Amino acid sequence: MLELALHILDIAENSTRAGARHVDIHLKEDPSHDLLTLEIADDGAGMDKETLAKALDPFYTTKKVRRVGLGLPMLVQAAESAGGELILSSEPGKGTRLKVTFGLRHLDRQPLGDIAGSLVTLIAGNPDIDFTYRHERGDQVYLLSTEEIKKEIEDVPINHIEVLKYIRSHIAEGMKEIGSEA
């Protein structure tokens, strides 16, 4: 996986399978400290200490259909090769929180990629889960909340093709407006 947008999609899919109702995705570009921070927090099932300790091991998975679990290890690799790290914390019954850092201008930092596409995929596949996407650059902020959108569209489903199209352009425009360089 060579784009951060794909990692975000992958990690958030884990949240949805952990039974989360809310998934918060937060990206922060801090040019003055040359730092890019990604945080994903959910209110899913969470993990106990033993599971948490094994979660970053590529040969550990809870799935029965295969013997490897590569999602998190690949994100660790992406962070570490860009001068950053991944910190995972979790509590059973409360949820899981992940924080990943990257050198914003590090040569080997993966590009952000198609964030709008990843979010649209998440929303289309999980209409009952509320997603927030917050993207900060310096003091500029872009925010998308599916809860807010659901209030506006009332009985129209959030995964209706017109709404998804709206969300895609909303994100694209918002990212441009705050001058995202990631």
Partner 1 sequence: MAKITIEDLKKIKERVHAETALRDGHLRVKVTVHMGTCGIASGAKEVMDSLLKEIEEAGVTDVAVTTSGCMGLCSREPLVTVEILNQDPIKYEYMNSNKMRQVFKRHILEGEIQIPFVLARGAETQK
| Part in contact with partner 1 (CB under 8 A); list of ranges 10-18, 29-37, 91-99, 130-138 | 10-18
Helices (H), the chain: 4-17, 49-54, 71-80, 115-125, 146-153, 161-177
**Number of DSSP helices (H) and strands (E) in the chain, helices first:** 6, 6
Looking at beta carbons only, is 52 or 172 nearer to partner 1? 172
Looking at beta carbons only, is 13 or 30 nearer to partner 1? 13
Looking at beta carbons only, is 10 or 30 nearer to partner 1? 10
When asked if residue 15 is in the footprint of partner 1 (CB under 8 A), the reply is no
Q: Please, are residues 61 and 70 in contact by the beta-carbon 8 Å criterion?
A: no
Q: What is residue 30's three-state secondary structure? A: strand
Q: Please, are residues 18 and 91 in contact by the beta-carbon 8 Å criterion?
A: no
Contacts to partner 1 by CB under 8 A = 1, 5-6, 9-10, 13, 17, 63-66, 69-71, 74, 114, 117-118, 120-122, 124-126, 149, 152-154, 156, 159-166, 169-170, 173
